[in-house]
Structure formats: C-alpha cells, structure tokens
Amino acid sequence: MPPQLEIGSKSDGIRYAQHQDRPADCWEVRTRNSSEWCHFIRSTPDCQTDSGFLNYLNGVFCLFPSGLLPLAVTLYGLWLLYLFLILAVTAEKFFCPNLSAISTNLRLAHNVAVSFRSPISRGTGWGSQ
C-alpha cells in the first residue's frame, strides 16, 4: 500500500510549496480555484513579463471565463500559426531574393551563400539579436 501523504509535507509538493516563505510559481495558478486565477496572475511576480506586446497570461486567465479556457488556448494557437505564416511569407518575399542576388553577384553557389549568411550578419550586427 502506498504511503499516505500529509497535507503540507515535503512529499505533497504543491501544497508544501504554497506554504513556504518563498513567492509562488506561476504554474501554481491551476492549483487555485478558478475565481482566483486573475488575481493570482496579476499579483504573482513570477507571472509578470517585462517584454512583449501582449500579456498572454492575463488574456487567458482574466479576459476569458474559466469555462472558455480551451477556446482561449485554441485562439492563441491560431495566433501562433498566423505569426509563423507571416514570418515564412516575409522570408520568401524579401530574404530569399536578396540572398540569391548576393550569391549571384559574388559568384557563389546558393547553398554556400546560405552558410555564409550567419557570420556576415553577425559581423554587421543585423543577425546578432
């Protein structure tokens, strides 16, 4: 028979972590009642992001009701697909023709030009981010 877990013991990781003096981790939002999700996301330092245009956690847990969580995740998945499609179109329309022109002017094979793109862009600061 497996050992019984005591509430608040080290073997009961989620509840034990919540009662320590350290701040809560953002993944613990799902251990809370759904009515507390928005407050938890907004008040937990681990859930705060300093960069980016959209606060995705705030969107999922504060803008959508808890019953529509699958819809929110699906919409974010479609948004991610859209971003990758825009990236692919941009590379196809602008990057590939320019790389082809550079390789033609330097009389390089196209596959050699692709392998030199990374060091050249690092030297100019264009691809170093």
pLDDT in tens, 1-48: 444 444 444 444 455 445 556 778 888 888 888 889 999 999 988 888
What type of residue is 66? S
pLDDT > 70: percent of the chain? 69
Over 70: is that where the pLDDT of 74 sits?
A: yes
Residues 6+ apart with CB under 8 A from 16: 8, 9, 10
d(CA 65, CA 71): 10
Which tokens is 55 given? 């606060």
Instruction: Report pTM.
Output: 0.58
Domain residue ranges in the chain = 1-63, 67-129
C-alpha–C-alpha distance, residues 88 and 52, integer Å? 20
